[in-house]
């Protein structure tokens, strides 16, 4: 009888925890809409269908590849073959125990799979924005499939699946490195292989190509912030009141400080309070806090977010100076601030210290080397076979007509 | 003392379950915004105010009629007068027991009412898209009121209120038939009574009338997918970890496979990767899995979703061939894939079998006959009295000016 | 052992309650996107960047000032210095007990802080819409900082922090007065200090200045309704099934009746079913029910919502008559219906009675007097020092170029 009571109590806690993890999954899902609207808003109207198409099928590709191989690559469990690679077999299926608290006090097997699957697809979405407005659709879809199906889960295993970075003591709470820098490295390599958009750096000067629909971009950033409550809050892996509520606070304060940091930097150095910089500042703060969202005090979160917001402004300017053409600022936000956030764990918060900072640096470098190598191989292979860039005519006319024979806003007159 | 402890444990479970059901209610609510943006995006800018107006007042009409009669028609309980019809009286009110676990371990009376009320309004919203760009506003509002206040709850009672389809063994987990095909039949009958938009099938050929704002449509589809976590996940009627998490997975995988199915079909047969087809493929997968979301394995969900995604492409093409003019593809998505999803319960998953397939078919046919008869009567009555179609001049100029004397985008030049 | 069991049960309930309060926080957060899209949609495209900028940094300013001083001004606790003012010191921090049920059975200290912080920022957002299209950005940012950092929390303390209105028996469940009328008074005073937009009341007649993107406004209203589930439902301060589910129902029915009320009033008196009036009717119903959302029956909620919906139509017309130029109708929605909702607590529902009505009136008047005085001082100071209105040239050209050197839709031709 006592046992029965105890079991019920544990079951209740399991039900609560699982409920939160499912809701966190739904919140991370909505980040895909956030990325879609952000990237569409920050690019030209002649490429809108193309960007939306990519971002609409990426979650589908991500979830399906994660079903087939990704989940079992990232969490090989007893099939763990070493510190760098493991594979538990194709497909997902659950034993009766897998959907009770015998699997885990925090969630069922199905919740575990879907939460992680939603994360996986975000890595490819980050790349989508950086390579926008000139990439061939079929090549991108193949890249995304390999990237999200193989590259992301292999790196993820190094830490979250119990691999060598976990053994080392590397810390990345919700993925400043494992998600954001992985996406960011893939984006950087893609941009280098592709080259800049036509006209962007012509005649020795930088020609801004403004986004066509800034309200869409604002919708995107707010949805991303909303989704981040699930991204970071769900990374607690239970509904633990103390930890999840702290993570909500650190996440929100870092986003807020990121906005103020980027507003200040753009106002001071670019002379105007730039809205897209401020929006990227919010994202910079969010990416920056992600690695240590459970370790920071409110003050530390504000410091990290503010610095990330300032960094992103200078990173955007710098990448333009060196002719790395990233239409939406994805590399500045996800790679640069992802690295900063990872290192921040060694500088501020409960784990701060030189030893930890060293571990963080090892993680940053090893992830960077692997992702650069892997994505270089993919992009190179695609370039040599089917090609990765659309024709000059198509780029000039827009990918919406070229790839999809559709227009995003057929009722409206365009500026010629 | 032991009793006290037991009661507390049950109360906690009740509180958890009810929390999930309230959140599922909020998720189903956001589907109304999904429908509004989807339908507005896929139609012309001269009719945007009109569509948004309809979709903004439908939830209001739906919730108010459900308060007055709908809930007590759908769940007549002891006032159940037979297998086909029952009515428990006007209005909603709760006894003290109705808000404790004496009512139900899963939710309070108020949660029950609101969750079901949010479902009810979706049926009318489905019709809204199909009849768009030529229907008179007052006629549509009257149709919607009768449809959501009487037709939907009477059919719903047949299964979910314990009527003859429930007795028979017909299965419809979250409403492939009871919600989606009901809306779809109402849409089909409406389109037949109304006829096609001017110029759509003029001079013996099909003239595409493209949607004016595709980003809006993408926002709509993602919000619908998000809302479907509540639509299907809430249909578990508790926060049961095993079942709700399975439903989240089957729902997401069917949506993903629907996207890939429609992308493949449109690329293969229409020669281009069509974004609106792919978006409808996501919805097709969601509608298709809805009847059996709790019965399917991941693989079966992917099969059902993929087939639904392929079906929707051919259904859209076919309806155009037979001059059924459905501007947003609502009939293809909700009626055709709703029927497919209902039958799928007899073909795949835990209940598959010829006997079940027969029961599913009886449900599909009896619901179809009743909704076609009922909505024909309503549309006929409206046509003979106040008329259902705007004048040619108004249709040409747009319903925004004609019905509302407003423009949706007054600052922008239109393509003339 | 018994104690252990009891503790676990309480902990589970604490975890459930806290989960709901964190989700309510996320829902209130998304209201900021609702305000941003609503206000951007209802104004001109030449001022869109400016409005979005304001609404993107307001949550940041709100959360940061609430961290530094607001939370401790609003909930001074033992540092409570009297009935009108108290301050518990700068910054936020939690003891180990503050994140357990020793703090509160409903939520942790961090949840408490963030939920209240999200509320705080909404007050400034309300002002943003009313003063749109002619206010200087730096002046607005300073106003918003002082308003949300000092004015809002001081008034909030009077009731929610245990001040003199609480002692008196004034009732305001979720903030018809404490949030909405506070924002509304600030908006009214701002509009009076600023004066109307150029051309709005020129040559003795009222010239409508229509919103540039009505789909954006619809997105805003639906997101606000969604967020209101957290705003009102979270004000229960626990996941109590009976109370939260009742609040969901009263909130939704008032919103629905508000839509019908405004539709009816606009159709009857303005001759056309006006979409923006209907949208404001939904918001009017929501604001109207907010003070007594836990006290009303469904019928009473419908009455309150319907009246609020009618009121808002006449209020908008009236403010235009007296040349109070509020581009988005924020004063009509938040101030007028906020006052109506506060008084409604004395007229309908569990607390109805002349004594209560008198208390409500005292609350309305004292809050009005203080906020008018405080915001007059701020606006006066700003006007005398840095100025609050942009130049005629900038207003004519648009604040997007003037304040931000950016365009919101650079690809599209504008109506000249």
Helix boundaries (H) for A322-353? 330, 337-347
Nearest to B248 among A22, A55, A407 (CB): A22
B interface mutation test: which of A8, A56, A124 has the most B CBs within 10 A?
A56
Is-contact A261 A307, C-beta < 8 A?
yes
Task: Choose among B56, B31, B51, B43: nearest CA to B220.
Answer: B31
* Coil/strand/helix, residue A414: strand
Instruction: Look up residue B196 and give its DSSP letter.
Output: P
Tell me if A33 and B246 make a contact (CB, 8 A cut-off). Answer: no
Which pLDDT belongs to residue B2? 44
- Give dist(CA C51, CA C131) in Å, integer: 10
Dig out the tokens for C7 from the structure.
């503790």
Residue among A109, A79, A105, A106 nearest A94 (CA): A109
CA distance C74 to C161: 6
Q: Using a CB-CB distance cutoff of 8 angstroms, which residues of chain A are in contact with residue C61?
A: 256, 260
Predicted pLDDT at A3: 47
Q: CA of B24: which chain A residue's CA is closest?
A: A23
> Which residue, A314, B367, A246, is CA-closest to C98?
A246
Q: How confident is the model at residue A5 (pLDDT cuts 50, 70, 90)?
A: low
Q: Contacts of residue B413 in chain A, CB cutoff 8 Å?
A: 412-413
Q: Across residues A393-400, what is the average pLDDT?
A: 96
Q: List chains adjacent to chain C, taking adjacency as at least 3 C-beta pairs closer than 8 Å.
A: A, B
**SS3 label, residue C408:** coil
Residue A35, pLDDT > 70, answer: yes
- Among partner residues C44, C218, C226, which is closest to B29 by beta-carbon distance? C226
Residue A101 to chain C, least CA–CA distance (Å): 15
Chain A residues whose beta carbon lies within 8 Å of the beta carbon of residue C67: 253, 298, 302
Q: Report which DSSP code applies to A413.
A: P
Please determine, for residue A1, whether its predicted confidence score (pLDDT) is greater than 50: no
Mean pLDDT estimate for chain A: 95
Q: What is the pLDDT of residue B158?
A: 96
Please state, rounded to an integer, the average pLDDT across all residues of chain B.
Answer: 95
Q: Report the pLDDT averaged over residues A351-365.
A: 98
Taking a C-beta distance cutoff of 8 angstroms, is the pair B20, B244 a contact?
yes
ipTM tops 0.95: yes
Question: pLDDT tens digits for B315-324?
Answer: 999 999 999 9
Please give the share of chain A, as a percent, with pLDDT higher than 70.
Answer: 98
Q: Is the Cβ pair C214, B52 closer than 8 Å?
A: yes
A5 to chain B, closest Cα gap in Å:
7
CB distance A151 to A371 below 8 Å = yes
Q: Which residue of B has its CA nearest to A1?
A: B2
Out of A30, A108, A405, closest to residue B272 by CB: A405
State which residue of chain A sits closest to B47, comparing Cα positions: A411
Nearest to A298 by CA among A261, A255, A339: A255
Tokens at C282, concatenated: 């939904």
Touching subunits of A (3+ CB pairs, under 8 Å) are B, C
pTM of the entire structure?
Answer: 0.98
Q: Which of B50, B408, B414 to mutate to test the interface with C (most CBs of C within 10 A)?
A: B408
Per-residue model confidence (pLDDT) at position C111: 98
- pLDDT at residue C284 in the model: 98
CA–CA gap between residue C384 and residue C197 (Å, rounded): 20
Beta carbons of A402 and A411 less than 8 angstroms apart: no
pLDDT digit string, tens, across residues B4-32? 556 677 889 999 999 999 999 999 999 99
Confidence of residue B366 (pLDDT cuts 50, 70, 90): very high
Distance CA A47, CA A402 (A): 9
Residue A266 CA: distances (Å) to CA of A315, B125, B198:
12, 45, 52
pLDDT at residue A4, rounded to an integer: 53
Which residue of A210, A273, A293, A309 to mutate against C (max C Cβ within 10 Å)? A273
* Angstroms from B413 CA to nearest CA on chain A: 6
Contact between residue B251 and residue A118 where contact means Cβ atoms under 8 Å apart: no
Using CA of residue C290, residue C296, residue C299, residue C303, what is the dihedral sign?
Answer: negative
Distance (Å, whole) CA C63 – CA B366: 56
Q: Which domains does chain C have, with CATH numbers?
A: 14-404 (1.10.3430.10)
Instruction: Place B3 in a pLDDT band, splitting at 50, 70 and 90.
Output: very low
pLDDT band at A8; cut points 50, 70, 90: confident
pLDDT of residue A2: 45
Instruction: Tell me the per-residue pLDDT of B111-152, one tens digit each, with 9 for 90 and over.
Output: 999 999 999 989 889 999 999 999 999 999 999 999 999 999
CB atoms within 10 A of CB C414: 16
Contact yes or no for C346/C354 (Cβ under 8 A): yes
Q: What is the mean pLDDT of chain C?
A: 95
Considering Cα of A62, then A68, then A69, then A70, what sign does the dihedral take?
Answer: positive
Residue in A with minimal Cα distance to B303: A64
Q: What is the pLDDT along chain C (416 residues), one digit of tens a residue?
A: 344 556 678 889 999 999 999 999 999 999 999 999 999 999 999 999 999 999 999 999 999 999 999 999 999 987 666 788 889 899 999 999 999 999 999 999 999 999 999 999 898 899 999 999 999 999 999 999 999 999 999 999 999 999 999 999 999 999 999 999 999 999 999 999 999 999 999 998 999 999 999 999 999 999 999 999 999 999 999 999 999 999 999 999 999 999 999 999 999 998 899 999 999 999 999 999 999 999 999 999 999 999 999 999 999 999 999 999 999 999 999 999 999 999 999 999 999 999 999 999 999 999 999 999 999 999 999 999 999 999 999 999 999 999 999 999 999 999 97
Q: What is the mean pLDDT of residues A305-316?
A: 98
- pLDDT value at residue B360: 98
Distance from CA of A125 to the nearest CA of C (A): 22
Whether A180 and A290 have beta carbons less than 8 Å apart is answered as yes
Burial A368-407 (b: 16+ CB within 10 A, else e): bebbeebbbebbeebeeeeebbbeeebbeebbbebbbebb
Q: Which residue has the tokens 């003859």?
A: B164
What tens digit of pLDDT does each residue of A92-122 get? Answer: 999 999 999 999 999 999 999 999 999 998 9
């Amino acid at each position: 009888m006592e046992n029965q009571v105890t079991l019920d109590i544990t079951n209740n806690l399991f039900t609560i925890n699982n409920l939160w993890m499912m809701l966190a999954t739904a919140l991370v899902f909505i980040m895909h809409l956030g990325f879609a609207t952000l990237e569409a808003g920050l690019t030209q109207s002649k490429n809108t269908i193309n960007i939306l198409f990519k971002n609409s099928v990426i979650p589908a590709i991500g979830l399906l590849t994660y079903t087939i191989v990704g989940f079992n690559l990232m969490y090989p469990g007893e099939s763990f073959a070493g510190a760098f690679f493991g594979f538990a077999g194709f497909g997902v299926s659950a034993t009766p125990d897998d959907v009770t608290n015998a699997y885990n006090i925090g969630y069922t097997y199905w919740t575990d799979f879907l939460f992680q699957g939603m994360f996986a697809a975000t890595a490819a979405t980050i790349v989508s924005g950086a390579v926008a407005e000139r990439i061939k659709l079929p090549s991108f879809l193949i890249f995304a499939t390999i990237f999200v199906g193989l590259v992301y889960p292999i790196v993820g295993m190094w830490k979250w699946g119990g691999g060598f970075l976990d053994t080392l003591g590397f810390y990345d709470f919700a993925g400043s490195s494992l998600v954001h820098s992985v996406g960011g490295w893939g984006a950087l390599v893609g941009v280098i292989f592709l080259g800049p958009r036509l006209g962007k750096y012509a005649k020795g000067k930088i020609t801004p190509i403004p986004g066509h629909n800034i309200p869409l971009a604002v919708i995107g950033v707010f949805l991303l912030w909303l989704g981040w409550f699930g991204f970071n809050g769900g990374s607690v892996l239970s509904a633990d009141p103390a930890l999840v509520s702290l993570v909500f606070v650190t996440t929100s304060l870092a986003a807020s400080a990121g906005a103020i940091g980027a507003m200040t930097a753009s106002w001071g150095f670019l002379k105007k309070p730039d809205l897209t910089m401020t929006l990227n500042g919010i994202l910079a703060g969010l990416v920056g806090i992600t690695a240590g969202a459970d370790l920071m005090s409110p003050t530390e979160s504000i410091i990290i977010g503010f610095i990330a917001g300032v960094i992103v402004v200078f990173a955007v300017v710098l990448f333009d100076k060196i002719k790395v053409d990233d239409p939406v600022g994805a590399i500045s936000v996800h790679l640069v601030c992802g690295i900063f956030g990872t290192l921040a764990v060694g500088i501020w918060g409960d784990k701060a210290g030189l030893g930890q900072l060293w571990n963080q640096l090892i993680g940053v470098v090893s992830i960077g080397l692997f992702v650069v190598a892997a994505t270089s191989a993919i992009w190179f292979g695609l370039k040599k076979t089917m090609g990765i860039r659309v024709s000059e005519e198509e780029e000039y006319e827009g990918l919406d007509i070229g790839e999809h024979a559709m227009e995003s806003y057929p009722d409206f007159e365009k500026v010629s």
